[in-house]
């Protein structure tokens, strides 16, 4: 019996409320030996006060030493084994902007990028081009026609957009990314891992070639890279597994997409963290479980900006009282992975995780950070077990066995 089947067999309903408040990429590293991480350097009086009444630990998103993408990172938080339920970024982005996939579709998350005269990437995100500039460019790519397949292009946010290949003959989603994750080199060619995926790779190569012709005169977004090729996934819903009516509050479409794929309702159209907490308040009586997502701890970490990540962490901390005012039975504060500004990328480091309920065992820590999380009462644990801890603390799991 795997974890999903175990929880299905033990779940029980009551009127408790669970909140999972996620600061994307929360975990960090010091920039010098003996220094503080971004979380430790930030002024977080609300999280520190909560820590005194809570238990904390370090969650491992996938397995020790494995740096996860956002999809696997969130699937783990939601209680799904990220090695078993793998959802590509293309499917996440498409679903997040209201483009449900059909059987046979392959979706791709794309980034506008900037290349020089030699075709080498100078900026992987086209200067984080504003949405009002990038959206018309993405829409213009719908003019690309490839025989035998329908090509659908939709803008997402900033440098991101989605491409769906629909109606092809046996397309596969196992295609390698074309983003080399570096500047000063040319984008990679799409390469399939099997016959069906090779068909998709050939379509993608045609699409990129046509797009480059159309974008060649743009100063910033004059090329693109493709990531997360994926077909329509199959995954059991939150209600089916946990018996929870779940709602998701997020700004970025990819996280809405992931929440939607596991059966959460997408709540509101918030564009700021303040607005997200207002949406939470408005829907409080209607749901058992809330996932609230804050993106900018991750993006500042990816930019390698220690001070900006500290500031974003402080913005996140300032919202904790608004959550507590609603009196959730279980409150979890965590991230989907670590994004140390020291590395300017996702990393394998355990993520500081805090769990508060009226039946948790406070572990004596009075601050919340990486050092205390490593010594906390939850210890180091795989993120996929966080939901069983939440369910247990909410009184939503029956006893196992006689």
pLDDT of amino acid 164: 96
- The model's pLDDT over 268-283, given as tens digits with 9 standing for 90+, comes to 999 999 999 999 999 9
Residue 308 token pair:
């900006």
pLDDT of amino acid 272: 96
**Residue 401 belongs to some domain of the structure:** no
Please report the sign of the dihedral spanned by the C-alpha atoms of residue 171, residue 172, residue 175, residue 179.
positive
56 and 108 assigned to the same domain? no
- The model's pLDDT over 306-324, given as tens digits with 9 standing for 90+, comes to 999 999 999 999 999 999 9
301 and 367 assigned to the same domain? yes
Measure the CA–CA gap between 253 and 292, rounded to whole angstroms.
Answer: 13
Which of 192, 207, 231 delimits the end of a domain?
Answer: 231
Q: Are 89 and 70 in contact (CB under 8 A)?
A: yes
204 and 157 assigned to the same domain? yes
pLDDT of amino acid 103: 87
Q: What single-letter DSSP state applies at residue 400?
A: P
Domain that holds residue 97: 93-231
200 and 259 assigned to the same domain? no
117 and 151 assigned to the same domain? yes
pLDDT of amino acid 43: 98
pLDDT band at 372 (very low <50, low <70, confident <90, very high): very high
Q: With 90 as the cut, is the pLDDT of residue 83 above it?
A: yes
Bridging pattern class, strands 160-166 and 223-231: unpaired
**Residue 400 belongs to some domain of the structure:** no
- The model's pLDDT over 32-54, given as tens digits with 9 standing for 90+, comes to 999 999 999 999 999 999 999 99
- The model's pLDDT over 352-371, given as tens digits with 9 standing for 90+, comes to 999 999 999 999 999 999 99
**3-state per-residue secondary structure call for 166-214:** ECCCCCCCCECCCCCCCCCCCCCCCCECCHHHHHHHHHHHHHHHHHHHH
pLDDT of amino acid 360: 97
Q: With 80 as the cut, is the pLDDT of residue 173 above it?
A: yes
Q: Report the domain count for the chain.
A: 2
103 and 221 assigned to the same domain? yes
pLDDT band at 253 (very low <50, low <70, confident <90, very high): confident
Domain holding 294: CATH number? 3.40.720.10
**Residue 102 belongs to some domain of the structure:** yes
Which of 203, 231, 259 delimits the end of a domain?
Answer: 231
């Amino acid at each position: 019996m795997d974890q999903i089947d175990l929880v299905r067999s033990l779940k029980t309903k009551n009127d408790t409320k669970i909140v999972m408040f996620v600061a994307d990429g929360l975990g960090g590293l010091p920039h010098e030996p003996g220094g503080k991480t971004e979380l430790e350097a930030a002024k977080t009086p609300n999280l520190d006060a909560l820590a005194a009444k809570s238990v904390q630990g370090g969650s491992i998103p996938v397995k020790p030493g494995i740096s996860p993408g956002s999809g696997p990172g969130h699937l783990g938080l939601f209680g799904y084994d990220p090695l078993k339920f793998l959802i590509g970024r293309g499917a996440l982005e498409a679903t997040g902007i209201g483009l449900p996939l059909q059987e046979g579709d392959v979706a791709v998350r794309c980034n506008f990028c900037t290349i020089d005269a030699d075709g080498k990437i100078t900026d992987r995100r086209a200067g984080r081009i504003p949405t009002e500039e990038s959206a018309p460019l993405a829409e213009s790519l719908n003019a690309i026609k490839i025989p035998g397949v329908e090509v659908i292009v939709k803008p997402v946010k900033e440098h991101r957009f989605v491409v769906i290949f629909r109606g092809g003959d046996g397309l596969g989603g196992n295609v390698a990314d074309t983003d080399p994750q570096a500047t000063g080199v040319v984008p990679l060619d799409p390469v399939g891992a099997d016959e069906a995926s090779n068909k998709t790779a050939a379509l993608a190569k045609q699409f990129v070639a046509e797009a480059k012709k159309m974008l060649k005169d743009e100063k910033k977004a004059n090329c693109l890279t493709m990531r997360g090729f994926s077909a329509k996934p199959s995954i059991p819903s939150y209600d089916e597994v946990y018996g929870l009516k779940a709602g998701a509050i997020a700004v970025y479409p990819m996280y809405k997409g992931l929440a939607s794929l596991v059966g959460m309702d997408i709540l509101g159209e918030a564009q700021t963290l303040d607005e997200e907490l207002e949406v939470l308040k408005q829907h409080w009586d209607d749901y058992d479980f809330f996932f609230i997502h804050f993106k900018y701890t991750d993006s500042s970490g990816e930019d390698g900006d220690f001070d900006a990540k500290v500031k974003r962490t402080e913005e996140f901390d300032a919202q904790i009282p608004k959550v507590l005012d609603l009196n959730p039975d279980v409150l979890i504060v965590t991230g989907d992975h670590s994004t140390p500004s020291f590395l300017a990328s996702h990393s394998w480091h355990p993520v500081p995780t805090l769990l508060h309920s009226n039946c948790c065992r406070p572990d004596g820590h009075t601050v919340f950070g990486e050092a205390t999380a490593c010594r906390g009462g939850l210890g180091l644990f795989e993120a996929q077990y966080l939901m069983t801890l939440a369910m247990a603390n909410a009184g939503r799991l029956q006893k196992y066995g006689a």
